[in-house]
Structure 1
Amino acid sequence: MKPAGEATEEAAGEAMAAGGTGAAGADRAAGTVLVVGSGTQEYREYLLRSAALRADLWLLDDAAPTWQAPHLTGWTEADPGDPHSLIRAARAVVDVRKVRGVLCHEEALILPAARLAEALDVPGPSLTAVRNCRDKHRTRALLRDAGLPQPRHAVVADLAEAAAAAEWIGYPVVVKPRGLGAGRGVALVRSAAELRELFAEARAAHWPGVPTYRVGILVEEYLDGPEISVDGVVHAGRYTPLFLARRLSRKEGALSPYFEETGHLVSADDPLLDDPALRWVLDKTHRVLGVNDAMTHTQVRLTARGFVVVEVNGRLGGDLVPYLGFLATGIDPGLVAVDVALRVPPRLTPVLTRTAGIRFLHPQEPCRVEHVTVPQADATKGLLRVVALAAPGDERGLPPLGHLQRYAYVLCEAGTPAECAARLDAAADQVRLKAGPLSVAPDERAAS
């Protein structure tokens, strides 16, 4: 392995272009992989770019490709959230090409993608596993019945049931929608006085294409302790953790009491990656949920009673966490994802040993952006990226009315987690947001 901190993002990019994980070149697979949706360029292009090194990619989406085009063999128009539309479009591709698998990185599309893979009888997301992961009540029940530690919880249909559950569990509790992801509608409720408003917000939360349930809200015991997430791979039933991200602590303020992500640190040599107790919990969790030949993103709390799985997402993590993992280890998640979709053994040998991190910047109050000023990236000082996510005139809100309303992020690397965290803080301090009030107040906007 190379010494910590020796490589830069440019060097890691060269490793990606060469096939990653120390390969001299990416061996191309015969046949075509169908890609269901593609997400946004900022957060998902790195995966598509790498995947194209391993296989011919054919996009199924509802708009003609733009930034995706250089990475594709072709595309077919389809509603990615509609399994019937996907199946019709895919069968037209099957008539002219050898389709070997289905690939999807998007939370809202992973269930239709699983139905497509089943209909075509090709490798892809497992319908059973996706359902077990997507339905958080089902996840809790399966893990609890398997003897894995889980928070006390109840699934409820209305405020009265939520209040009774909270009294039984004991405050503080967490309310969360049963089928959503990325923290939408999730809030910490500290008292009965807060429950009415936060429960109503959880019920109102939604995301296009994501299932809802009549009895659709979970009330859960609040798990105290550090948060981590693990992006891992299951091949032929064997689970291997790849990247372990430590959540940067959330500061009390504008985002409280919501669980909005503010940043992550990924270290190639994080000791938890080799912790036998964590590995046992992760392996058993994936076996219980029926995950086989997939990449997943698992959220875990390090509690006084041990590792407790919060949830499992049936796709790679967001927030560029897998990219941080690539920068830290040299393992290319885009290549691994294609290998998994084709059910061939993925190459999982690290070639780097360092730490990479990202910090997201949120406004202190809802605003209309006038200008975001960012410093120049400087790889020699470990500042690899500084990206403004808001343009003049854009509006930025806060939960519950605005979700993931970031105006910038900074991405750094260093030899140690402490050094990387310090670089992130220093870079974030150099970002300047000039903004004014919204033309319509958030409460008036909600009322309309």
Structure 2
Amino acid sequence: MSTQPVSSETDQDAVLLVIGIGSQKDRDSRPYREYLLSAAAQRFKLWLFDSNEPTWQSEYVVGANALNCYDPEAVTEAARRLAEQRPVIGMFCPDEGTLLAASHAAAALGVPGMSVDTVTACRDKKTTRALLTRAGIAQPRFTTVRSPGEALRAADDLEYPVVLKPRNLGSSLGVIKVSGPDEMAGAFGITTAAAYPGVEVPDDYIVEQYLDGPEVSIDGAVFDGAYTPMFVGRKQVGGEPYFVETGHTVTAGDPLLEDEALIAMLQDAHTALGITHGTTHTEVKLTSRGPVIVEVNGRLGGDLIPYLGKLATGIDPGLVAVDVITDRRPDFTGGLSRTVGIRFFGPEEDCRVERITLAEPAPGDGVLQLAKVVSPGVELYGPPKDYVARYAFAVAEGADQEECNKRLDAAGALVSLESTPISSAPIGGTP
């Protein structure tokens, strides 16, 4: 990598290539992605590769191509054709499913970015576990299995409860807690049925120890091999035995940001995974025996956690992300000190959305934003068919996490869903 920062002024035709920032499953991507795209556009001219022609993204990009962004060969070939017409100075990829394709294209063009091996190590939980264990970083005991019988034997060895999960999916897809042997067959069917567009799931699945304690996430950046945490997300999870994320809160100055042992562990983990430049989203369980890394994702967090971080601290994660991949030293000076949280609203039963109504927040109630994320006619299913069946969300601020969560609870009264129940065939059986 060059020792000089890439400058948007060196060539007026130069572009930063953005890969995969569009919609998924009939959900509006704008509330989730616009803050990242608008930040990147402050630094560079942008060219977009996405699965569909741009809509709202058009105001931020100078050009776009619609292609299969999950296919490394298709993305690499399109990137090469683009590079023949104008300089490509880097690649920004915030979508989990397109990270591998983006890494192949970055390697082919010789531009900064995470290597194919590093992206693979982050995306494959089996590889992540092995590398971190080898580096002496606390990990749950685990193994991989290919059948319900193997899973039963593994769980007997690890001791119940255990967690069963695919090796390389995100958003808690196919992740399920198994509390006893009578639940294993159904759980195995659910895990093996989980899928994500463009991602080939290996046929061996992870069985690992269930970790006690709350889960947090840390969004951070790596520049020249040095890891810097930006924000800590305190996660709310429901829907056991599934792990459905229902909300997050971010507080500027969270004490975990000053936990030297935790930060040292995160640095060691990023070094072990070979991450030298990039932004990451690390999930950590605060167990009774200390912090344990659940996974390291080679991109910023989903669920608008980085956006909450921006509102709480003033640090712009979009700017940090494009700076580190174009060899600019990022600015972590935020200037804000708030607690901000998000609450997602999902249906109580599988349904077809007919109408979503958002009431006006009252002055002083701390609600910063209410947004719909699906349109009428969309069908929403709970787990195990879908783990992110949401129709709206609220963002609120408070003096601390307790007040913020109370305000988010109250914001639920501002959101109304009219829907028609629908039946859902079970996937893989009932655990």
Give the TM-score normalised by structure 1: 0.89
Task: Choose from 277, 291, 294 the match for 1:307.
Answer: 291
Structure-1 residue corresponding to 2:348: 364
Residues in 1 aligned to 2:82 and 2:322: alpha-carbon distance in whole angstroms: 18
Instruction: State yes or no: 1:407 paired with 2:395.
Output: no
For the 8 Å contact 1:126–1:292, the answer to whether it is kept is: no
Residues in 1 aligned to 2:427 and 2:82: alpha-carbon distance in whole angstroms: 44
Instruction: State yes or no: 1:45 paired with 2:50.
Output: no
Residues in 2 aligned to 1:298 and 1:101: alpha-carbon distance in whole angstroms: 23
1:190–1:78 distance in 2 versus 1, CA, 3 Å: same
Structure-2 residue corresponding to 1:278: 262
Instruction: State yes or no: 1:267 paired with 2:251.
Output: yes
- Displacement of 1:249: 4.6
Residues in 1 aligned to 2:9 and 2:134: alpha-carbon distance in whole angstroms: 40
After TM superposition, list the pairs within 5 Å mapping 1:7-406 onto structure 2.
30=10, 31-39=14-22, 40-215=29-204, 217-250=205-238, 255-378=239-362, 380-406=364-390
Unaligned 5+ residue runs, structure 2?
1-6, 23-28
Aligned to 2:264, what secondary structure does the other structure show? Answer: helix
Residues in 1 aligned to 2:254 and 2:56: alpha-carbon distance in whole angstroms: 34
1:379–1:322 distance in 2 versus 1, CA, 3 Å: farther
Residues in 2 aligned to 1:378 and 1:327: alpha-carbon distance in whole angstroms: 20
- Displacement of 1:63: 2.5
The aligned amino acid for 1:263 is: G
Which 10-residue stretch deviates more, 77-86 or 43-52? 77-86
Which 10-residue stretch deviates more, 429-438 or 204-213? 429-438
Residues in 2 aligned to 1:379 and 1:291: alpha-carbon distance in whole angstroms: 45
Structure-2 residue corresponding to 1:437: 421
Residues in 2 aligned to 1:154 and 1:111: alpha-carbon distance in whole angstroms: 24
1:327–1:379 distance in 2 versus 1, CA, 3 Å: farther
Residues in 2 aligned to 1:74 and 1:323: alpha-carbon distance in whole angstroms: 25
Which 10-residue stretch deviates more, 174-183 or 367-376? 367-376
- Displacement of 1:369: 2.6
1:156–1:36 distance in 2 versus 1, CA, 3 Å: same
Aligned to 2:56, what secondary structure does the other structure show? Answer: coil
- Displacement of 1:444: 7.4
- Displacement of 1:29: 5.4
1:444–1:86 distance in 2 versus 1, CA, 3 Å: closer
Unaligned 5+ residue runs, structure 1?
1-26
Structure-1 residue corresponding to 2:3: none
Percent sequence identity is 47
Residues in 2 aligned to 1:28 and 1:383: alpha-carbon distance in whole angstroms: 38
Residue deviations 1:397-427 (CA, integer Å, cap 9, x gap) = 1101123111221111123222111111111
For the 8 Å contact 2:361–2:414, the answer to whether it is kept is: no
Which 10-residue stretch deviates more, 336-345 or 75-84? 75-84
For the 8 Å contact 1:62–1:79, the answer to whether it is kept is: yes
Aligned to 1:426, what secondary structure does the other structure show? Answer: helix
Runs ≥4 in structure 1, deviation > 6 angstroms? 444-447
Give the TM-score normalised by structure 2: 0.92
Aligned to 2:149, what secondary structure does the other structure show? Answer: helix
Residue deviations 1:328-348 (CA, integer Å, cap 9, x gap) = 011111111110120110111
1:271–1:128 distance in 2 versus 1, CA, 3 Å: same
- Displacement of 1:208: 1.5
Structure-2 residue corresponding to 1:4: none
Residues in 2 aligned to 1:380 and 1:261: alpha-carbon distance in whole angstroms: 27
For the 8 Å contact 1:28–1:53, the answer to whether it is kept is: no
- Displacement of 1:445: 9.2
For the 8 Å contact 1:103–1:125, the answer to whether it is kept is: no
Which 10-residue stretch deviates more, 346-355 or 391-400? 391-400
Residues in 2 aligned to 1:116 and 1:206: alpha-carbon distance in whole angstroms: 24
Which 10-residue stretch deviates more, 203-212 or 76-85? 76-85
Structure-2 residue corresponding to 1:418: 402
Residues in 2 aligned to 1:437 and 1:113: alpha-carbon distance in whole angstroms: 40
